[in-house]
Amino acid sequence: MNQSSVRAPAAARPAARAAAARRRHSTAAPRSSLASQQAATAAPVFHYTEIELQTGPGISVHNIMPQLRAEVARLGVAEGFVNVLSRHTTTAVCINEYETRLLDDIRQFLRRLAPPTDPYLHNDLHLREAPEGWPGGWEAWAQQEPENAHSHLLSLMLGNSETVPISGGELKTGVWQSVMLVELDGPRKRSVGVQIVGTAPPRAGGQQ
């Protein structure tokens, strides 16, 4: 998948909200039964890929909803789910609203929660050992090792995986929700693990 650090265009939200309201008021039972029947006809596909991102400095939030939607559509998965994994110890995967000013609130809130200027044991590089066999030994390791204990703590608090159901070919997030990678020690090149599991409806007139 392509690198992605740009913000997604704002969706036509009132229309989406109206559509969501319509769906919410329809009776759930018949739709569920149909989905179950279709899903029972074939073994599910397990599809794993990684989204690569160039993140911003310090704390930054990256909307990966467009990539997730594109991948679900490309695979044609009708019933299933997407599991999204933060693959770094100083990033997190979250779901919330991708609104410009809220992103600044998130940054400020997280900085207050675990200030980078607080004392942390993990940041005393001179008291830590380099991993065994590090090329160049301790000096080389210490030179490239960031003082980022606060980023680890925030990653721990925010969480590192979220799972979102797919039904009727659509991710079932709410109208205002986006799946986002939260960078806590940028800028860096990062990869997000994305696994899509599910079944596609049989194609008309041929093998699946």
Any contact of residue 6 with its own copies (CB under 8 A)? no
Any contact of residue 72 with its own copies (CB under 8 A)? no
Total residues at interface with its own copies (CB under 8 A): 83
* Binds its own copies (CB under 8 A): choice among 3, 99, 146, 202: 99
Q: Could you tell me the smallest distance in angstroms from the CB atom of residue 151 to its own copies?
A: 10
Any contact of residue 44 with its own copies (CB under 8 A)? yes
If the CB atoms of residues 12 and 204 are measured against its own copies, the closer one turns out to be 12
CB contact at 8 A, 162 and 95: yes
Any contact of residue 122 with its own copies (CB under 8 A)? yes
Under rule CB under 8 A, which residues in 11-30 are in contact with its own copies?
Answer: 12-15, 24, 28
Q: Could you tell me the smallest distance in angstroms from the CB atom of residue 102 to its own copies?
A: 4
Under rule CB under 8 A, which residues in 102-121 are in contact with its own copies?
Answer: 102, 104-106, 109, 114, 120-121
* Binds its own copies (CB under 8 A): choice among 69, 177, 188, 201: 177
3-state SS string for the chain = CCCCCCCCCCCCHHHHHHHHHHHHHCCHHHHHHHHHHHHCCCCCEEEEEEEEEECCCEEEEEECHHHHHHHHHHHCCCEEEEEEEECCCCEEEEEECCCHHHHHHHHHHHHHHCCCCCCCHHHCHHHCCCCCCCCCHHHHHHHHCCCCHHHHHHHHHHCCEEEEEEECCEECCCCCCEEEEEEEEECCEEEEEEEEEEECCCCCCCCC
Residue appearing with tokens 């001179």: 126
Any contact of residue 83 with its own copies (CB under 8 A)? yes
The binding track of 179-198 with respect to its own copies, each residue x by CB under 8 A or -, is: ------------x-x-x-xx
Any contact of residue 8 with its own copies (CB under 8 A)? no
